[in-house]
Structure 1
């Protein structure tokens, strides 16, 4: 598979339009997630299905090697707190 274009890096910096689109996509997914939990789906099942769907899409878009490289970097990013959402007390 060919190299990825520099303007669409699998986990690189995004311009403002890409960042806005990512935030919109996250809002859609959060809404769907909350609806599924409300309907009684187990969050572990949702997480596994979401990961499978996301990885399948990344492989289709970027190719197996780029998606595998992204996955290899995930452990360090998780440990660095990149996916940790702070708990806000009110």
Structure 2
């Protein structure tokens, strides 16, 4: 079973469709990041932990090959600004 290649932006401020489960999930993750930062955790450490947890879940759900194929697309998406908010580096 392949991972859905949905490139829809997850930023809840960019869309009116609050019924989209991915946007709701993103809100939970964003809240967790904010809470962790208030507790003094480094945002970089949170980001690495979140990526690990996400990839582990994708492997458990779709398998290693499908997850690796999905991960191979991420470099181009990052370079094209798909995850950029605000100023680009």
TM-score (normalizing by structure 2): 0.78
Q: How many aligned residue pairs are there?
A: 78
Q: Unaligned 5+ residue runs, structure 2?
A: 9-16
Q: Unaligned 5+ residue runs, structure 1?
A: none
- Which structure 1 residue ranges, 4+ long, deviate > 2 Å from structure 2? 9-14
**RMSD (CA atoms):** 2.1
Contact 1:10 1:66 in 2 (8 A): no
In terms of fraction of residues, the more helix-rich structure is 1
Q: How many angstroms apart in 1 are the aligned matches of 2:7 and 2:82? A: 14
Q: Which has the higher contact order (CA 8 A, sep 6+)?
A: 1
- Higher Cα Rg, which structure: 1
